[in-house]
């Protein structure tokens, strides 16, 4: 592709500054939204972290149905640490992530004896057991009603700066920072030698084993890292909403994560982000505006089926596909033009 | 002692409808290689057939059950044609599509009947006593129907020519189609039978459970536990595992509580997965 001429150099400058533009848009975004839309934006940012951490797990080729429960482990742990032991909230969130990672490390012993479909079902069973324990044991976990009045993120009060995190706008920026840092770490991990090993295990696990890769350890590692970030997402959620309960982390919610990942596509880093952003916008803004509240699961289901049938590689494949078509069309019309001349 | 007997009778009833559901799920998985996540919703649709035809339109109970069986069977054929056939070489895709389909069925049920429990009056008030334990005719009816249907299915699969073709497809689809067995035809029949079994289970138990649009969730969890314990792909294993699970679950529910029973059931499944991933009765080795 030729990039000569002023148009080409502008395009290159834009490309170089793409992060600046992206963050400028993200920073301006909450000021263009209504209050309730700001609240949705906070949850969207948290869900971006959830689905991106899920993708790290799928890199090794395993699809879990317990990821939302792991997020819940982070949420419950962080909430309980803050409530019962008075640990300051930012630290408790971090510890919540560690708790989620620890539970994942524990679960990996039974779970990674399985593969594929069995892992899917096994992770579902393990997650349900954790969820039912929250439901059954009222003493620390609050039973079916869950935990309420979770300590909010502490306000920042210095001489010239005061930030109240009860405001969705401020919490949006807080989550944006936490999620951006997390995504950067996830991205670096994927590009590191470890990440390449994950890919190798996905495509050729026997071959990887034969050259000395301990697939069990790498699968566990992917699971633990993914769970840590899911736990962080859970902590962000718990201290924003202020309440958690077992239903919030049920398999229905997991279905949504699965849908975002599948509709977006999991081959590229941005695929799941695309999925969660596009579907949330459709779900919360378009469908809500149309007043189709009860029909929302139906439309979600239809989108899911249609995208599996007609867009099996996800939204992420749409851009490259359209580009090739456009180039074909252009070269075709150029050739046609020459013939006419 | 009375409580023990009563619990055993209750467990027999639970085992019979669970076996119908699990055998249907295994049929679908065996022939098509797809895990049908919408199986619990097929049960729900069957139950709502009875809610509509029997409780609202006052047709005879048996007719409503038969209609439920046939209707859900055709829903299954619809699923096969629109989703599982195009996604035949993409098992994960089939699973995801079935999740989409279950959301659609749930929403349609909410549209048609509302979110609240549908109330179905019992079709008969009679009951009998076995060693001091009470068995209502409504439950006895479920047990008898399950035994008859499963026996008929067994005869169909083992004795008829088409049944043999079906089992051939389940063992090796490619080799079967080389022998001139139509994959599409077999998949359609397997899907009809599998879905109809879930539907008839829902229809039969509708007066006993008072269905909601979201009842499928607990059903699919139960069905998964049973097919894992029994060995995925084994029909006999599914029946035996249904009996084991129903007894464990019913006894733990009676002597502890329902949530503990669910935890025990899931732990049982996890234990089987870890120690014997092919299930207690699945002889077939799967990669």
Complex ipTM: 0.83
Residue of B nearest to A61 (CA): B92
* Predicted pLDDT at A159: 67
**pLDDT band at residue A256, thresholds of 50, 70 and 90?**
confident
Task: Note which residues in 259-278 of chain B have CB less than 8 A from chain A.
Answer: 259-260, 262-263, 266-267, 269-270, 273-274, 277
Residue of A nearest to B227 (CA): A121
With respect to residue A12, please indicate whether it lies within any of the assigned structural domains. Answer: no
Q: Are B167 and B176 in contact (CB under 8 A)?
A: no
A52 burial level (CB within 10 Å; 0-12, 13-18, 19+): buried
Average pLDDT over residues A82-105: 90
**pLDDT band at residue B198, thresholds of 50, 70 and 90?**
very high
Question: B140, B105, B120, B124: which is closest to B209 by C-alpha?
Answer: B120
| Total domains in the fold of chain B | 1
Residues 6+ apart with CB under 8 A from A9: A3
Residue B176's SS3 state is helix
Per the structure, the complete domain to which residue B156 belongs is given by: 2-213
Q: Is B33 in the A-facing interface, judged by CB distances under 8 Å?
A: no
Q: Check residue A244 and report its DSSP letter.
A: B
With respect to residue A166, please indicate whether it lies within any of the assigned structural domains. Answer: yes
A-chain CB neighbours of B215 within 8 Å are none
**pLDDT band at residue A242, thresholds of 50, 70 and 90?**
confident
Q: Are B205 and B47 in contact (CB under 8 A)?
A: yes
pLDDT at B14 over 70: yes
| Total domains in the fold of chain A | 2
A102 burial level (CB within 10 Å; 0-12, 13-18, 19+): middle
User: Considering A249, A282, A311, which residue would you say is the last residue of a domain?
Assistant: A249
How far separated are the first and last CA of chain A, in Å rounded? 24
With respect to residue A23, please indicate whether it lies within any of the assigned structural domains. Answer: no
With respect to residue A235, please indicate whether it lies within any of the assigned structural domains. Answer: yes
Given an 8 Å threshold on Cβ–Cβ distance, is A128 in contact with B103? no
Per the structure, the complete domain to which residue A302 belongs is given by: 250-334
A-chain CB neighbours of B96 within 8 Å are 258-259, 262, 304, 308
Residue of B nearest to A304 (CA): B100
Regarding whether A175 and A63 lie in a shared domain, the answer is yes
Q: Is B181 in the A-facing interface, judged by CB distances under 8 Å?
A: no
pLDDT at B116 over 50: yes
Q: Is B114 in the A-facing interface, judged by CB distances under 8 Å?
A: no
Average pLDDT over residues B238-263: 89
**pLDDT band at residue B119, thresholds of 50, 70 and 90?**
confident
The alpha carbon of residue B135 is apart from the nearest alpha carbon of chain A, in Å, by 31
With respect to residue B219, please indicate whether it lies within any of the assigned structural domains. Answer: no
With respect to residue B199, please indicate whether it lies within any of the assigned structural domains. Answer: yes
């Amino acid at each position: 592709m030729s990039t000569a001429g002023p148009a080409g150099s502008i395009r290159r400058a834009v490309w170089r500054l793409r992060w600046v533009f992206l963050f400028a848009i993200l920073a301006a975004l909450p000021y263009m939204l209504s209050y309730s839309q700001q609240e949705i934006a906070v949850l969207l940012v948290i869900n971006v972290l959830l689905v991106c951490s899920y993708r790290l797990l799928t890199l090794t080729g395993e699809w879990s149905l317990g990821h939302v429960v792991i997020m819940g482990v982070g949420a419950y742990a962080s909430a309980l640490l803050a409530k019962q032991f008075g640990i300051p909230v930012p630290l408790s969130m971090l510890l919540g992530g560690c708790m989620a990672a620890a539970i994942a490390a524990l679960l990996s012993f039974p779970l990674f004896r399985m593969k594929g479909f069995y892992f899917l079902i096994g992770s579902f069973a393990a997650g349900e057991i954790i969820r039912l324990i929250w439901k059954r044991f009222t003493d620390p976990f609050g039973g079916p009603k869950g935990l309420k009045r979770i300590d909010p993120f502490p306000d920042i009060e210095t001489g010239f700066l005061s930030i109240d995190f009860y405001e969705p706008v401020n919490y949006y920026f807080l989550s944006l920072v936490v999620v951006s840092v997390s995504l950067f770490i996830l991205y670096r991990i994927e590009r590191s030698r470890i990440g390449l090993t994950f890919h190798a295990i996905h495509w050729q696990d026997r071959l990887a084993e034969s050259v000395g890769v301990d697939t069990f350890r790498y699968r566990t590692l992917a699971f633990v890292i993914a769970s840590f970030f899911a736990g962080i997402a859970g902590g962000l959620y718990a201290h924003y909403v202020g309440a958690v309960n077992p239903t919030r982390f049920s398999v229905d919610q997991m279905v949504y994560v699965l849908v975002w990942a599948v509709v977006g596509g999991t081959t590229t880093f941005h695929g799941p982000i695309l999925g969660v952003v596009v579907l949330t916008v459709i779900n919360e803004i378009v469908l809500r505006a149309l007043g189709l509240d009860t029909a929302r699961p139906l439309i979600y289901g239809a989108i899911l089926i249609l995208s599996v049938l007609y867009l099996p590689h996800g939204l992420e494949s749409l851009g490259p596909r359209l580009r090739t078509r456009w180039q074909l069309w252009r070269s075709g019309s150029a050739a046609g033009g020459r013939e006419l001349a | 002692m009375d409580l023990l007997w009563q619990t055993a009778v209750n467990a027999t009833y639970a085992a019979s409808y669970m076996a119908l559901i699990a055998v249907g799920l295994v049929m679908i998985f065996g022939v098509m290689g797809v895990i049908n996540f919408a199986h619990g919703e097929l049960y729900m649709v069957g139950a709502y057939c009875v809610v509509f035809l029997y409780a609202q339109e006052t047709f005879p109970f048996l007719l409503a059950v038969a209609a439920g069986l046939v209707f859900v069977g055709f829903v299954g054929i619809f699923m096969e044609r629109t989703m599982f056939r195009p996604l035949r070489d993409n098992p994960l895709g089939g699973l995801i599509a079935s999740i989409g389909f279950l959301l659609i069925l749930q929403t349609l049920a909410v549209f048609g009947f509302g979110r609240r429990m549908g109330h179905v009056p019992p079709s008969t008030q009679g009951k009998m006593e076995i060693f001091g334990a009470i068995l209502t005719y409504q439950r006895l009816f479920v047990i008898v129907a399950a035994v008859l249907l499963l026996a008929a299915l067994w005869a169909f699969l083992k004795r008829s020519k088409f049944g043999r073709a079906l089992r051939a497809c389940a063992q090796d689809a490619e080799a079967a189609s080389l022998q001139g067995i139509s994959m599409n035809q077999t998949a359609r029949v397997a899907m009809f039978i599998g879905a109809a079994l879930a539907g008839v289970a829902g229809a039969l138990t509708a007066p006993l459970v008072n269905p909601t649009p979201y009842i499928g969730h607990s059903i699919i969890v139960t069905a998964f536990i049973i097919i894992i314990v029994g060995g995925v792909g084994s029909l006999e294993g599914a029946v035996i595992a249904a009996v084991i699970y129903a007894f464990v679950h019913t006894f733990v529910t009676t002597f502890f509580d329902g949530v503990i029973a669910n935890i025990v059931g899931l732990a049982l499944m996890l234990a089987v997965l870890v120690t014997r991933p092919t299930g207690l009765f699945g002889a077939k080795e799967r990669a």
